[in-house]
Amino acid sequence: MSRYIEIVLEKRKIRCVAQLLDDEAPTTCEAVWQSLPQTGGVWHAKYASNEVYILVEPLKTEPGSENRTIAPTAGDVMYFFFPPGYKLPKDVDHIVSAGRGVVDLALFYDRNNLLLNPREGWTPGNVFATVIRNLDEMKTACNSVFREGVVGEQLVFRRLEGDGLKAWGLA
């Protein structure tokens, strides 16, 4: 049976649904699923192009590498683990657990992305879900995040179950 997550830009009141890729990234899917919900101040990518993401504490289980890419496309939902010592913005010092690193949960909302960080080089991540509902509205909202800024915006990743599935026509 398929599993789904809902991704929300709270301030802009825009939601989309992604289906977990349990066959392609089973360990990542399970690790993320068990950690949900996750909420944080949204960031917009500087180098990757069409990406919004949150930075959170490491998950209970680090899934390792699976279903990796450096060229995500529209609708890809990705997991990245940045080990201790990885250069991160000072704004996220409160997230970095002593010696544990940090996790990036990301939504790529349009095409033509390339995960190349000028400081670190290629930055592959695990594709663990794909957006199946409302990508066009999310794309518009994410472009708004890029143009108007991230201040006050929260990005939420949460399980979609029960009545939530029915509301999206998935049950």
Check pLDDT > 80 for residue 18.
yes
pLDDT tens per residue, range 52-102:
999 999 999 999 999 999 999 999 999 999 988 777 777 777 676 667 789
The pLDDT value given to residue 25 = 98
User: 64: left (phi > 0), else alpha (psi -120 to 50), else beta?
Assistant: left
Q: Which class would CATH give 4-160?
A: mainly beta
Structural domain spans, the chain: 4-160
Taking residues 104-125, what's their average pLDDT?
93
Place of tokens 């529209």: 74
Cβ 58 vs Cβ 100: under 8 Å: yes
Question: What's the pLDDT at 39?
Answer: 97
- Mean pLDDT confidence for 28-57: 95
pLDDT in tens, 127-167: 999 999 999 999 999 999 999 999 999 999 999 999 999 99
User: Letter for the amino acid at 56?
Assistant: V
Nearest Cα residue to 84 out of 71, 94, 97: 97
pLDDT at 2: 96
